[in-house]
Amino acid sequence: MSKVILGIESSCDDTSAAVIRDRVLLSNVIASQQVHKDYGGVVPELASRAHEQNIVPVVSRALDLAGISAEDLDAIAFTRGPGLLGSLLVGTSFAKALGLSLGKPIVMVNHLQGHILANFIRQEGKPVDEPSFPYLCLLVSGGNSQIVRVDSPLTFTILGQTIDDAVGEAFDKCAKMLGLGYPGGPVIDRLASQGDPSRFTFAKPHIPGLDYSFSGVKTSLLYFVRDQVAADPDFLQNNKEDLCASFQKTLIDILMDKLVKAARQTGIRQITIGGGVSANSGLRSRLVEEGRRRGWKTWLPEFKFTTDNAAMIAIAGYFHYLEGETAPLDVAPVSRISDF
């Protein structure tokens, strides 16, 4: 019997709803909040208010586009965390209310599991090409930088993670430092494509094992720019592209060094990436290139599944639902989840 799952995502500043039938995506609606643009970052209170305004039309639209009536749903999956508590509260409360009114089970999903499982979203008319188990996922976003071993759709082991900033934070903070705006990742990515990645070098951390650190490279860029601007006030303006290319290359080198080490240590040669930073064109091409060189099979999520979206919540919810893992109605959202 086929299973129809509604996914709801509201962990940060995107309100999203998606419907899948088994693993096939029927609809994926995302309302991105523009209200934060003037503030240089997401304002939590404004985000939760915008989620409240968006959630009903977004869910209705997702059901309409899928051609599914709410009564036909088997379960409602929602992001329980991690994320902004006020934002999560909107999606969680909505899922509970909808579940209660329809008499349907609800399924809680860890947002990070959604990113890790994004490659399992199937789409009508597209060939199925999914990793088998075990595989490694380089999970890179504004809040996380982890290497995760995935042994089944619901079995995850964190092999390494950042001990300070996430790589997305390094992109965002450094873009702010260079006066490039927020979110910085996409801007640095675009400028980097026009610059010389070998022009400048920045200090790389020496962290044992498979853990990451990104705070030092950020400081290295800060001091370098400060000294250069003191000598030449036009330095930033005249070297933006090369600075972005060199800084981005340093971040990618750091990410890839540990990923290569993890693949060597585990013997696993199936590698995926996930999370907002997996949209980075430099990282994507580098993963493919390393994969070719090292005999890995690699998977890159489609761009629309790299940033926050409910399709990945629906697919993760589907796997939980198959295992009978439904949530009680008194479940509360959580802003932080330290493990899977």
Residues that bind ligand KG4 (CB under 6 A): 12, 141-143, 168, 171-172, 183-186, 189, 275-277, 279-280, 307-308
User: Which C-beta is closer to ligand KG4: that of 21 or that of 115?
Assistant: 115
According to DSSP, residue 212 is labeled B
Which residues share a beta bridge with 149? 136, 157
Q: Residue 87 CB, nearest distance to ligand KG4 (Å)?
A: 10
Q: Residue 230 CB, nearest distance to ligand KG4 (Å)?
A: 28
Residue 204 and residue 213 in contact, taking contact as beta carbons nearer than 8 Å: no
User: Which C-beta is closer to ligand KG4: that of 105 or that of 186?
Assistant: 186
Token reading at 152: 């089944």
Residues 297, 85: Cα–Cα separation, whole Å: 37
The residue type of 264 is R
Listing DSSP states for 113-148 in one string gives HHHHTGGG-EETTS------SSEEEEEESSS-EEEE
Residues 311, 136: Cα–Cα separation, whole Å: 21
Q: Residue 127 CB, nearest distance to ligand KG4 (Å)?
A: 25
Residues 221, 156: Cα–Cα separation, whole Å: 34
Q: Residue 192 CB, nearest distance to ligand KG4 (Å)?
A: 9
Q: Residue 30 CB, nearest distance to ligand KG4 (Å)?
A: 11
Q: Which residues of 96-128 are buried (b: 16+ CB within 10 A; e: fewer)?
A: bebbeeeebbbbbbbbbbbbbbbbbbbeeeeee
User: Which C-beta is closer to ligand KG4: that of 160 or that of 168?
Assistant: 168
Q: Residue 252 CB, nearest distance to ligand KG4 (Å)?
A: 10
Q: Nearest 5°: CA angle at 172, between 231 and 38?
A: 100
Q: Are strands 297-299 and 145-152 parallel, antiparallel or unpaired?
A: unpaired
Residue 42 and residue 13 in contact, taking contact as beta carbons nearer than 8 Å: yes
User: Which C-beta is closer to ligand KG4: that of 161 or that of 266?
Assistant: 161
User: Which C-beta is closer to ligand KG4: that of 86 or that of 183?
Assistant: 183
Q: Is 21 helix (H, G, I), strand (E, B) or coil?
A: strand
Scanning the structure block, which residue is given the tokens 């980097």? 192
Q: Residue 324 CB, nearest distance to ligand KG4 (Å)?
A: 28
Token reading at 201: 């070098």
User: Which C-beta is closer to ligand KG4: that of 63 or that of 189?
Assistant: 189
Q: Residue 165 CB, nearest distance to ligand KG4 (Å)?
A: 10
User: Which C-beta is closer to ligand KG4: that of 146 or that of 307?
Assistant: 307
Q: Residue 121 CB, nearest distance to ligand KG4 (Å)?
A: 16
Residue 258 and residue 105 in contact, taking contact as beta carbons nearer than 8 Å: no
User: Which C-beta is closer to ligand KG4: that of 322 or that of 337?
Assistant: 337
User: Which C-beta is closer to ligand KG4: that of 98 or that of 283?
Assistant: 283
The residue type of 58 is V
Token reading at 89: 């509260």
